[in-house]
Amino acid sequence: MVTSNLRLLVLVSSLTCVAWASSISSLVSRQLFDSIFLHKDDPACPAKDFYTYDSFVQATRRFPAFGNTGSLTTRKREIAAFLAQISHETTGGWPTAPDGPYAWGLCFKEEVSPQSDYCDSTNTQWPCYPGKSYNGRGPIQLSWNYNYGPAGKALGFDGLRNPEIVSNNSVISWKTALWFWMTGQKLKPSSHNVMVGRYCPTKQDLAANRTAGFGLVTNIINGGLECGIPTDGRVSDRIGYFERYANIFNVDTGPNLDCQYQQPF
């Protein structure tokens, strides 16, 4: 019995070491994080001091496959792609900004001047709560009741009654972005599966030219507004972030960066 217990202890210790070694912090140190987001805590940024490194690392523990699937190159490329997409969603940069336009990610934690309350009243599975707005919040700018509802259910908060928590709680905010990244929805694959080579296109996907790559991730996130449009500036901005971050991680971007010839989902 003593021998069995000892073996169990060694096994648990080994698994703990493996989990620790594969932590996101092994690929994204605090120093690297700060070098990527040079201006996230600029006094001009509404999200100043909100998107902390510690909250990011804590949130990734809820999704252990993130940045931990495939080869080292694949892992780094996925992280770079995720950080690029959230940077575009929360950017405060401009063409002549200090350090360039792609050094200003994570500047905003909530959509500026939303044009609606983002309530899809036809969605009875995730009904809107009176007086609540489901406008973009957090790193991925989570939007619409049909995203807040399931995100809250998966992560343990009431997304329909308390959507504001996404812009008030840093850890939950990061978790919603990772939830959206890791979760396939309806006809859409997850961005995670696309970036780690697990995307299996259907006949409809092939007919719509939805080929694997960073451009497909853009299609997943906001294809209805940005894809199928030649040289869309928003798509180019996302690519600019990705190219900068891929260079920082010392990996290539892979093919199919844009979605200008893809049909939206």
* pLDDT single digits (tens) 245-254: 999 999 999 9
Q: What are phi and psi of 188, to 5 degrees?
A: -95, 135
| Positions marked active-site | 89
**What's the rounded Cα separation, in Å, for the pair 65 and 140?**
18
Give 186's pLDDT tier (boundaries 50, 70, 90).
Answer: confident
Instruction: State the average pLDDT over residues 130-150.
Output: 98
Q: Identify whether the C-beta of residue 151 lies closer than 8 Å to the C-beta of residue 179.
A: yes
Q: What is the pLDDT of residues 40-92, one digit of tens each?
A: 999 999 999 999 999 999 999 999 999 999 999 999 999 999 999 999 999 99
- What single letter denotes the amino acid at residue 68? N
* DSSP assignment string, 87-153: HHHT----TT-TT-GGG--S--SB-SS-SS----TT-SSSPPPTT-----BTTTTB-SHHHHHHHHH
Q: Identify whether the C-beta of residue 194 lies closer than 8 Å to the C-beta of residue 71.
A: no
How many Å separate Cα 14 from the centre of its chain? 30
Average pLDDT over the chain reads 92
Q: Which domains occur in the chain, in start order? A: 23-108+184-265 (1.10.530.10), 110-168 (3.30.20.10)
Check pLDDT > 80 for residue 173.
yes
Give 23's pLDDT tier (boundaries 50, 70, 90).
Answer: confident
